[in-house]
Amino acid sequence: MITLKLAREGNYETVTLRLPTTPGEVGEVFATLDAATRYAGEVQITGVDSGVPSLAKHLKGADLTDPDAFDKLNRLSEKIDGMDERQRNIFSGALDAESVSSLDDALRISDSLEAYTFVPNVRSDEELGRYVAVAGQIHGDRRFPEEAWPYLDFTKIGVEYYAGHGGAYTPSGYVMRREAVQEQTQGTKSVFELYLLHGQIRYRLDLPAEEARLEAAKRSLGIEDFAQAAIYRTRCGMDPLASLLPMDCVSVEDANELARTIREMPDGDLLKYLAVLSVEQPADFPGALRLALELDDYERITEGAYEYGQSVLQRFGADEELISVIDGYMDFEQFGEDSMKEDGIRQTEFGLVRRLSSPFDGQTPVQQMF
């Protein structure tokens, strides 16, 4: 059973209504409010007693002008009456873990309690960390050796697990979506890990990700757009890329596009991208993404000065026969070194690289390599 306290907007006079109810009883309550307040403001829910701890804050904004509002409230009350204590605990946590903006949302969640996992008596990051360490093989996580427990930072373990799986803490335990667990334990090693926060909900998103996974992440966070969530931590899972990428101004969309672009790069292009990053040193993440998308404007040089001199001649129109004829009469190596300077080639730990559209500024001498 749900018991509501109702009041007219802007007034303190309240009337109690027990659910399930009838249209006649609703009419009597509205008439009582009218007589007590003499004010035509909308009727609002100001208090809820239901046996589901988090339900009150989610029902207080319910639109009671909806002609079906009390039918929906009756259905919700009947559903709660049919729940056992464990299901009520799951329902409470699921309401906090999801985005609830209407009675329809609350009813939808009440119909899908099997989509959630409940861990009793886990109410904080530290308690969750201890559970992860002690319980062992839960949801694909590896068991921590007992000898290591005295040295473990349980709070940090809990934070990491919470960030990766989302959910919500309740007075009775921890509730999370089962699909959030499955998504994060499937697939290949990620390029980026983004740790997202919306309200009290934290979520770790591994990238690249397909559209279905991105939509599931939004549902877990209770948002419609990733701009509504804060990115409070980032991690690049590829060395040495991690040391070259600026993570300022990162967004989920940009990170996913760059992760997908990097995943699809041939090995040679990845080395070229690393060389370009080390020279261009973009100021922020969008700049790094732009360089990846414009990678055709760069060339990674894998040859020495001698061969480069010959390739420059070919660029000017000389064929192999002509180059063979002048071989022995031309210092290809010196010509190659001079051409490298003119082309603005830069030396990096990933090889030589040049920009095709215009030479790099502030050249680093390359002759030290020869």
**Taking the mean position of all CA atoms in its chain, how far away is CA 266?**
26
Q: Which of 262, 140, 282 is nearest to 208 (CA)?
A: 262
Q: Would you state the pLDDT for residue 367?
A: 38
**For residues 56, 62, 66 and 71, what is the CA-based torsion angle, rounded to 10 degrees?**
-20
Q: Which of 162, 105, 155 is nearest to 139 (CA)?
A: 162
Residue 364 — φ and ψ, nearest 5°? -100, 125
Query: 49: helix, coil or strand?
Result: strand
Instruction: Report cis status (omega within 30 of 0) of the bond before 286.
Output: no
Q: Quickly list DSSP for 293-358.
A: HTGGGEEEE-S-HHHHHHHHHHHTT--HHHHHHHBTTB-HHHHHHHHHHHHT-EEETTEEEEESSS
Q: What confidence tens digit (pLDDT) does each residue in 9-66 have?
A: 877 788 999 999 999 999 998 888 888 766 667 888 989 999 898 998 888 878 888 8
Sequence letter at residue 314: Q
Q: Which of 270, 315, 273, 268 is nearest to 294 (CA)?
A: 273
Global pTM?
0.51
Q: Would you state the pLDDT for residue 190?
A: 83
Residue 10's CB is within 10 A of a number of other CB atoms, namely 10
CA distance 48 to 54: 10
Output the average pLDDT for the chain. 82
Query: CA separation (Å) from 244 to 26, 247, 275, 281?
Result: 65, 10, 10, 8
Q: What confidence tens digit (pLDDT) does each residue in 122-142 have?
A: 999 888 888 777 665 344 445
**Taking the mean position of all CA atoms in its chain, how far away is CA 331?**
56
First to last CA, the chain: 84
User: Which residue has 């409070």 as its token pair?
Assistant: 232
Lowest mean pLDDT among 43-47, 182-186, 260-264, 282-286: 182-186
